[in-house]
């Protein structure tokens, strides 16, 4: 059963499950996997697939025929809703496109900034206890909008050696270029270093288990990464106007992700707190992932009763949750007060799963309190910024000695020389 606390009974900094886990044992394993993939390339991937995924593959690359057949097998309803979701995600992310700018400071000085898409991006799509076609959309669509020229997706195969039809159909709709049957740390290593079948990419995005997270951290610098994602989190701020059935269902929507996931309600209503606790117990047995959700709620779930909605907002800002729902009277009025949150859901009819699948904003979000300093995945994650400057001979002559003096003050005489030598040029 979910635990209920008074606001003064709990350490606000430890509301969510954010224990620092020792990665020492797993890190050694991941380093060995990376070494094997760098050295043996495809051969290592085939071996790890047989050892870890329990399937012997003949080919790592999903063929065009496999994709077409999978697309035919999924229902029309699935294709329709994924296509609609794609339109919504595209519309939202197109608003994030940045424009180059240029400043003509004077006749002889031009300054500017240009945006360039990352050339090749790898997307990791988890397998394991669930299938995530939504992850395909949320990672591939912003990359396409940014202008990435090659998107390589990796995802673990099933025991029959195939990728789930829904994943392949979503990849086709989203415009993924290459699909690799490979998961785990070995897939991250393959994307970072390249193999005979897996193109080397410039950046890797997408969530995964602890081995994937460690691998992403270890290859960072060889390639870029989006973030190190931790267990899923939801925090709901609710007052007495909230519907207890809705709140309980939304808490469970995150609890079913992972036994380590955290679902928290912060409310100023004792009545709502008791009603949500009862409703959780009523709804839990109805879930197909009951065992996972049960452990998540019992171990990490919390209901915290505070004196006011303002105190709840203060607590939320300290916690910086991945998902934040505001189920209060006039939730829009609370929006300016929210400083730290990955994605915000306003009102009783904006449940978190709407954002996971369909609404448009990205569902790849900062976890573990990193919403204090980072943001959801966006078009920005798939572009690079380059600044430029151009001075005429006359404009440089006006400032060269001042800048050279600045360089001298740092002891960088070659910098100063590069400026002064242009003044020594024969007229």
pLDDT of residue 129: 59
pLDDT tens string 246-279: 999 999 999 998 888 999 999 999 999 999 999 9
**Annotated catalytic residue within 36, 166, 256, 323:** 323
Q: What is the CATH number of domain 230-373?
A: 3.40.50.1980
Lowest mean pLDDT among 11-15, 288-292, 366-370: 11-15
pLDDT of residue 20: 46
Please say whether the dihedral angle defined by the alpha carbons of residues 195, 201, 202 and 205, taken in this order, is positive or negative.
negative
Our answer to whether residue 322 is catalytic in this structure is yes
Long-range pairs of 30-33 with CB within 8 A, sequence gap ≥ 24: 30/185, 30/211, 30/214, 30/215, 30/218, 31/218, 33/184, 33/185, 33/186, 33/189, 33/211, 33/215
Q: What residue spans define the domains of the chain?
A: 24-225, 230-373, 392-427
How far is the C-alpha of 176 from the C-alpha of 139, rounded, in Å? 10
Of the chain, the percentage scoring pLDDT greater than 70 comes to 95
How far is the C-alpha of 137 from the C-alpha of 170, rounded, in Å? 7
How far is the C-alpha of 63 from the C-alpha of 116, rounded, in Å? 30
pLDDT of residue 15: 67
This prediction has a pTM of: 0.91
Our answer to whether residue 64 is catalytic in this structure is no
Across the range 226-242, mean pLDDT stands at 93
**Annotated catalytic residue within 166, 233, 256, 322:** 322
- Neighbour count for residue 111 (Cβ, 10 Å): 14
- CATH homologous superfamily of 24-225 equals Nitrogenase molybdenum iron protein domain (3.40.50.1980)
């Amino acid at each position: 059963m979910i635990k209920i606390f008074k606001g003064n009974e709990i350490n606000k900094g430890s509301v969510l499950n954010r224990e620092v886990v020792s990665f020492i044992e797993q890190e050694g394993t991941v380093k060995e996997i990376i070494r094997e993939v760098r050295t043996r390339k495809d051969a290592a991937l085939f071996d790890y697939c047989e050892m870890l995924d329990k399937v012997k593959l003949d080919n790592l690359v999903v063929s065009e025929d496999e994709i077409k057949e999978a697309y035919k097998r999924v229902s029309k309803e699935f294709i329709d809703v994924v296509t609609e979701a794609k339109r919504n995600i595209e519309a939202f992310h197109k608003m994030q496109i940045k424009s180059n700018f240029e400043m003509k400071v004077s006749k002889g000085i031009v300054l500017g900034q240009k945006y360039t898409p990352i050339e090749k991006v790898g997307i990791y799509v988890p397998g394991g206890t669930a299938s995530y076609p939504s992850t395909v959309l949320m990672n591939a669509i912003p990359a396409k909008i940014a202008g990435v020229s090659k998107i390589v997706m990796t995802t673990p195969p099933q025991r029959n050696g195939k990728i789930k039809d829904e994943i392949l159909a979503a990849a086709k709709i989203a415009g993924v270029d290459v699909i690799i049957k490979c998961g785990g740390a070995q897939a991250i290593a393959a994307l970072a270093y390249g193999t005979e079948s897996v193109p080397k990419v410039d950046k890797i995005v997408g969530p995964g288990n602890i081995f994937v997270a460690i691998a992403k951290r270890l290859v960072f610098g060889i390639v870029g990464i989006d973030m190190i994602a931790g267990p899923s989190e939801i925090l709901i701020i609710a007052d007495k106007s909230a519907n207890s059935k809705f709140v309980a269902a939304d808490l469970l929507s995150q609890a079913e992700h992972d036994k380590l996931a955290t679902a928290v309600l912060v409310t100023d209503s004792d009545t709502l707190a008791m009603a949500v606790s009862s409703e959780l117990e009523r709804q839990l047995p109805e879930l197909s992932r009951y065992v996972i959700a049960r452990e998540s709620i019992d171990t990490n779930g919390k209901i915290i009763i505070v004196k006011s909605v303002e105190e709840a907002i203060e607590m939320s800002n300290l916690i910086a949750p991945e998902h934040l729902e505001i189920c209060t009277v006039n939730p829009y009025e609370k929006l300016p007060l929210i400083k730290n949150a990955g994605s915000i859901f306003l009102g009783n009819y904006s449940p978190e799963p709407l954002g996971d699948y369909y609404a448009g904003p990205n569902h790849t979000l900062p976890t573990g309190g990193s919403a204090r300093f980072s943001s959801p995945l966006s078009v920005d994650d798939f572009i690079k910024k380059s600044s430029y400057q151009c001075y005429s001979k006359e404009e440089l002559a006006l400032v060269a000695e001042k800048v050279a003096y600045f360089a001298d003050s740092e002891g960088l005489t070659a910098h100063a020389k590069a400026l002064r030598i242009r003044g020594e040029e024969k007229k």
